[in-house]
Structure 1
Amino acid sequence: MLKKTITTLLTWIVISTSAQVHDYGFIKSNTIPVFHNNSALLHPWAGGMNNIQFAEMDLDFDGVKDIVAFEVHGRRILPFLNKSKSANEINYVYSPEYAHLFPDDIHGFFQLIDFNNDGKEDIFTYGIAGIKVYKNVSDTELKFVEFTDQVTSIYYENYINLFCTEGDYIVIKDMDGDGDLDILAFWALGKYVDFHKNMSVEKYGNTEHLDFKLVERCWGYFSESEEGNTITLNDYCDNIKQPYSKQHRHTGSTMLMLDENGSGLYDMLLGDMDYPNLFLLRNGG
């Protein structure tokens, strides 16, 4: 019995020593090719993209805009370096080594916009019942610092959080041409769009501030249906303080401003999470 015990103990010592000599480990590789139907997949290790948002910025400071994708499901940052050698070439390379340089609490929506005109894209994302902003303070390496955890706006008399929902994709853009960023957002219980004007230029003479004031309760004079996939035009709502019916629309609308017909005015692409189509709302102003 003693001989058997000693033999077992010696065997265990040999195995343990061998394991220490051969220190096993794993290294992630994104370069292993993956094929499907004899065709190489372009970005096999980037993971699935189910609810994706795209933005542009120069990640590696080479003077060329790269792509930063945000996967809402899973809250993943997916960086892609632009390796194109000419204007006619499209060649983006998945580069996960840049992902850790972004804040880890991004969720809801993700927009890269330079709010203070310093040439560096800042981060706008969902915060506490509204909007959170990270300022880009990069020098030789990508770096962000929290600018505000809650963007506020003057609702008639007092500053409160500029409300938007986690499910909406809002407009952050200079809508009145004065140089600072304004915001269009649906109110959570409403079918109309609120226009929050940035007062930074008017108050401070620069674009360094995010100082908003609610100036319109039904911007664009349209409304979303509470019950179906329809848009009502010429709905003025009289810009009253609470232009909402007893029925409330769900959250989950997306807005994109663009000059679709070259008129010099912003038109809107409007989407809804419950329907596969988009509405194009042309600006007749």
Structure 2
Amino acid sequence: MDALLLVEQGLNGLQLGVMLFLMAAGLTLVFGIMDLINLAHGTFYMVGAYLTAALVPVLDSFPLALAAAVLLTALLGLVVEAVALRTLYRRDHLDQVLATFGLILFFNELVKIVFGPVPIFLNPPAALAGTVDLFGLKYPAFRLAILAVGIAVAVFLWLLIARTRVGMLIRAGATNREMVMALGVDVRLLFGLVFALGCGLAGLAGAMAGPVLAVQVGMGEQILILTFVVIVIGGIGSIRGALAGALLVGMVDTLGRALLPAAFRLVMDAANASAAGAALASMAIYVLMAVVLAIRPKGLFPAH
């Protein structure tokens, strides 16, 4: 494998990591702060992608369609939290899992009814449709834009959680909900806004993934498993952990799929090498999770 291909795969790993961070940041906020296991988080990823694909022809602008889709996804999350999830905060985690799994089935069927079962292919904006020359490597400009969006979101979340009054209230509500309520803060509204923020981030991830992947029913479940791996590795409730875990998982998954088949070709025929390499690459992130948990049971950067 030459150096340029290795750099390309490294960039692909970073891009996957950033996409996972956009998902994991919202999920770890909801799980770590609200103590809610939300299996339907991937649903909002799917909804964000579908809304973007539907709004691009209407608004004739990818950035406007993306912004509108993220806002609408956040509003949908606010409604879902108020109608279906608010009564589950003090319930057992098994009840939360069953309820949010039901939401997955409901929204998958609803999307089929509204948009149809056929996958939709979303084109990137014209300004980002080409490639950028990186030291001789022609790399898609839109994938670099995904990296930039992920970095911007990470900075925004750090400023929000660590440097604003809203962030202070969120951290206080996660630590001692009753005391914050006694001080006159509407914790229900605060937690609703946190859930909406998480849904908006998932919708943003779906909107950015649309031009890279096919927009289809069930696409959220495919990335949800990786997202849970990310927050377990990084530490539940930690934005810093979500970023570190996402980048680590993205790099291990992408480089594993690129390097392991090539390594096995040195000792076996091409067909068996590809099969063995692909199988081990799919296991690599779970091996990584097991190793991290063996060393640091609460994750790399657990929330305090």
**Common fold, TM-score beyond 0.5?**
no
Provide TM-score, normalisation by structure 1: 0.25
Q: Which has the higher helix share?
A: 2
